[in-house]
Amino acid sequence: MRTTGAGREETADGPGTAVVTGASSGIGTRYAERLAEAGWDLVLVARRAERLDEVAGRLRETAGVAVETLVADLAVPEDLARTAARVAAEDVALLVNNAGINGYGYFTETDPALLTRVLSVNVTALTALSRAAVPGMLERGRGAVVNVASQLAFAGSLPPDPLPRRAVYGGTKGYVVTFTRTLAAELADTPLRIQVLCPGLTATEFHLTTGEESVAGLTQQVHAEGGMPVDEVVTASLAALERGDVVCVPGLDDPDRALERLVAAETGMRAVPRP
């Protein structure tokens, strides 16, 4: 077995299968495109069947890889269970947990059902799919998991405007960062690669809906705020995965030093004397 571009572990049978959630737009679609170009077979997961079919058909034609589509709402337990079963299959060597919704709004004014949905997609589904993937990867001695968080995981008490009102969303992304870093430490002596991607504002359609409904239509859109091009975000992630970096913050100067400062701050917080 050898490791080649895009962080893929290659065997005599090729790179294997990558599962990408939230693959019907934005960052998820670009992951699918880049992985297909690198020779990965794909399982694309999202709510929008027509969008998935368009992406899958295009990649089968342009990249010549096998592409499955799995129409699923990861906030629905039955759909999550179906997706977890596919993720646990022995051909899966890469899981990209990209699906996420924002539920932006004042905490006291946002529909509790929407906040529950944010927790279900951003935390429960990501955790369940990671749990489905990792044991089999360990048995096979190869695999990688990329969990997509956000720079808002580090926004803490910063006020809204220009940042969104984000108490639950920011909390879920803080969970993704801590979960992934801790899981990576737990698996440090194994062949698996675990990464948390923390993009800032990215030029996608993410801000066009809070998550109750998907953006309609086949044409992918970009919210008015713009942001970093999607390809730059995915390029940063795949390069970091190749290096074995656990935390990837696209566009950050000297990420190693920033992470060292974060770890030092965490160490200091834990050093408070106990009564």
Active-site position among 31, 104, 169, 175:
169
C-alpha dihedral sign at 217, 218, 219, 224:
positive
- Secondary-structure percent of the chain, ordered helix, strand, coil, rounded to 5: 45, 15, 35
CB 122 within 8 A of CB 149: no
Residue 86: count of CB within 10 angstroms of its CB: 18
Q: Under DSSP, is residue 152 helix (H, G, I), strand (E, B) or coil?
A: helix
- What is the DSSP code string of 184-200? HHHTTTSS-EEEEE---
Is 169 assigned a catalytic role? yes
Coil, strand or helix: which one is 110? coil
Answer yes or no: are the C-beta atoms of 138 and 190 closer than 8 Å: yes
Pairing mode, if any, of strands 8-10 and 17-21?
Answer: unpaired
Long-range contacts of 247-255 (CB under 8 A, 24+ apart): 247/177, 247/181, 247/195, 247/196, 247/198, 248/195, 248/196, 248/197, 248/198, 249/151, 249/198, 249/199, 249/200, 250/197, 250/198, 250/199, 250/200, 251/200
Q: Report how far residue 226's alpha carbon sits from residue 224's, in angstroms, rounded to the nearest whole number.
A: 5
Catalytic annotation, residues: 169
